[in-house]
Amino acid sequence: MLIDNGIDVNSPDSDGITPLMLAALNVSPNPTPNPSPNPSPYPCIIVAETNIVIYNVFMLIYLSIYMHLHLSTSIYIYISLYLSIYLSIQGNKEIVEQLLLAGADSLLSARDGSTAFSIATSSGRKVVALIIAEADLRRAIVTGREDIILESVRAGAFVDLPTASGWTALIYACATGNTNLARSLLDMGANVNRAEADGWTPLHFAAHNGYADLVKMLLDAGANSGWINGRGATARDLATAAKHDAVAKLIPMTSQPL
| Domain made up of 1-33+41-158: CATH architecture | Alpha Horseshoe (1.25)
Q: What is the pLDDT of residues 82-115, one digit of tens each?
A: 444 444 445 578 888 888 888 999 999 999 999 9
Q: Where are the domains of the chain?
A: 1-33+41-158, 162-251
Model pLDDT, residue 8: 82
CA dist 38 and 232 (Å) reads 62
Write down the pLDDT at residue 45: 45
Give me the half-sphere count of Cα atoms (radius 13 Å) on the Cβ side of residue 118.
10
Contact 156, 121 (CB under 8 A): no
Where is 184: in which H helix or E strand?
helix 179-187
Burial class of residue 200, CB neighbours in 10 A (0-12, 13-18, 19+)? buried
- Residues near 255 by Cβ (< 8 Å), separated by ≥ 6? 225, 226, 234
- What Cα–Cα distance (Å) separates residue 76 from each residue in 79, 80, 199, 253? 5, 6, 54, 68
Report percent pLDDT > 90 for the chain: 55
Mean pLDDT of the chain: 80
The neighbour count for residue 126, using CB atoms within 10 Å, is: 15
Residue 124: predicted pLDDT: 86
Task: Compute how many other C-beta atoms are within 10 angstroms of the C-beta atom of residue 210.
Answer: 18
Are 1-33+41-158 and 162-251 the same fold in CATH?
yes
Q: Which homologous superfamily is 162-251 in?
A: Ankyrin repeat-containing domain (1.25.40.20)
This prediction's pTM: 0.72
pLDDT at site 41: 42
Q: What is the pLDDT of residue 89?
A: 47
For residue 53, which phi and psi values (nearest 5 degrees)? -65, -50
Angle at 50 between CA 48 and CA 54, to 5 degrees: 120
What does each of the 258 residues of the chain score in pLDDT, given as a tens digit? 445 556 788 888 889 988 888 888 864 344 333 343 344 444 444 444 445 455 555 555 555 555 555 555 555 454 544 444 444 445 578 888 888 888 999 999 999 999 999 999 988 888 899 999 999 999 999 999 999 999 999 999 999 999 999 999 999 999 999 999 999 999 999 999 999 999 999 999 999 999 999 999 999 999 999 999 999 999 999 999 999 999 999 999 865 544
